[in-house]
Structure 1
């Protein structure tokens, strides 16, 4: 049973690093099982009242399982059988059990109010991991095993989205205080000395750049979180990986955010120069 969750976690970890969709990678593995020379099958009578053949490849079985004409009783007994095999036999049935949930997971993710800075791949990974864990622990004699798996995924992705929104709010609040202080330094005597006392390298140049960021935030050119990203990685030389871990996004996505923010800032500064 533990092997099921470990297998899915390894698979989604690999696709996360490569930028591929975790759901897409799982689908590839699932379809490979269904289209092999000796395809993996399930009893047809679980989803068909009068089956024409004794067994169905797992992809055809899933299509029947998701079909509106399939009764709730057929779905319940199908999920029990799939999860029972995953728990008792391990792989590849663990992969099959999680992949059986993919059609519903796509609907769950489509309904999710996902913050803009939260990558879809991260959400997909969270959903798949939640289903993998639930497959391992759910009671196969429960009234509706499938619903238990879907509910676990739904809870997981909503927790992830909530945490991302909270983190963004905390960052925005902290950055607002800091940039506000920097903005108030503008034009005051002793600005360079204050920066030197704080141990900031090349104080005069950096204070000017901080002030530019503060002005850009006030003008609505960049957001607080974007200005903080530029300040911490460009001026303070913090590793991009550290900020990516804090915000729960990939380094690649954070680089894209910074590049877009810097492009807006650059355009704004050029326009100001033309006006002078």
Structure 2
């Protein structure tokens, strides 16, 4: 079975996702997850197991919290790094919960239930791509919570909507923007200019801290481990916080301060180059 074999493609987003998952996991070559990568003490089947069977195992063991967390960390990691088939796989693995949320919300929604399905799936995929932190517990619960919130937001929008003929008599006049006026991107650019943030770290910092993107693909693109990038961003957080406290990002830095910051940036660059040098030397050494 393949997706192309389906003559009537479902109009519901969840039905479409379930159809795609079924195509990926059908015989004769169902998509599997090798559970031998996990700690045997978790109780998971010690073999490569088709995803529907793994989903059934998790449903039959609702109290296997650690096992579920490890399975979902691996699913999310693969969805972020290994291609769209693992995105479909993650959605399919969560389908029982997503179906339950859709049924509950559609029962009180006055519009097309397909709209609820679409919002739930969108909320799930957004969290899957960027918002769930794999360093924190219960990643599956975080995904499901994001899906529920997205569907519930659609319900609130319908309940809060109130048509009126004319709002000119209640519309607020122009107001001054709140302080600070500067966009965060401008502060980050100034931090780079001053040497507080290294240029090679700027995009990663913007993506993770301002864009709230998932850290795993960004670490892979930068050729570092997730833990190393987390520590690097944490150190940048501290430097930026100190700079904001000292007024360096919103005021004028003295020549002495600029020189000190450039010196610190140069020291960081030398340390980073020093860590990379041994690997380069080994690679450049000719074979005996």
> What TM-score comes out, normalization by structure 1 length?
0.51
Report the CA distance between 1:113 and its aligned residue.
6.5
Please name the residue that 2:152 is paired with: 158
Secondary structure (helix, strand or coil) at the match of 2:84 reads coil
Could you report, residue by residue, the CA deviation over 1:151-178 in whole angstroms, capped at 9, with x for unpaired residues? 11111111111111223x32xx559xxx
Matched, 1:133 2:119: no
Please name the residue that 2:20 is paired with: 29
Secondary structure (helix, strand or coil) at the match of 1:143 reads coil
CA contact (8 A) 1:104 1:150 kept: yes
- Match among 57, 70, 88 for residue 64 of structure 1: 57
Could you report, residue by residue, the CA deviation over 1:219-242 in whole angstroms, capped at 9, with x for unpaired residues? xxxxxxxxxxxxxxxxxxxxxxxx
User: Paired residues, what number?
Assistant: 157
Please name the residue that 2:84 is paired with: 91
Matched, 1:43 2:34: yes
Report the CA distance between 1:128 and its aligned residue.
0.6
For residues 73 and 154 of structure 1, the distance between their equivalents in structure 2, rounded to whole angstroms, comes to 23
For residues 12 and 147 of structure 2, the distance between their equivalents in structure 1, rounded to whole angstroms, comes to 17
For residues 72 and 132 of structure 1, the distance between their equivalents in structure 2, rounded to whole angstroms, comes to 22
Q: How do 1:243-254 residues align onto structure 2 when only pairs under 5 Å count? A: none
CA contact (8 A) 2:106 2:113 kept: no
Secondary structure (helix, strand or coil) at the match of 1:104 reads helix
Please name the residue that 1:78 is paired with: 71
Give unmatched runs, 5+ long, in structure 1: 1-10, 12-17, 176-276
For residues 52 and 109 of structure 1, the distance between their equivalents in structure 2, rounded to whole angstroms, comes to 31
For residues 35 and 19 of structure 1, the distance between their equivalents in structure 2, rounded to whole angstroms, comes to 18
For residues 174 and 29 of structure 1, the distance between their equivalents in structure 2, rounded to whole angstroms, comes to 46
Q: How do 1:89-128 residues align onto structure 2 when only pairs under 5 Å count? A: 89-112=82-105, 115-128=108-121
Please name the residue that 1:229 is paired with: none
For residues 109 and 136 of structure 2, the distance between their equivalents in structure 1, rounded to whole angstroms, comes to 37
Report the CA distance between 1:109 and its aligned residue.
2.3
Report the CA distance between 1:65 and its aligned residue.
1.9
Report the CA distance between 1:52 and its aligned residue.
6.0
For residues 75 and 95 of structure 2, the distance between their equivalents in structure 1, rounded to whole angstroms, comes to 14
Please name the residue that 2:243 is paired with: none
For residues 142 and 153 of structure 1, the distance between their equivalents in structure 2, rounded to whole angstroms, comes to 18
Report the CA distance between 1:22 and its aligned residue.
1.8
Report the CA distance between 1:51 and its aligned residue.
5.9
State the Cα RMSD in Å: 2.9
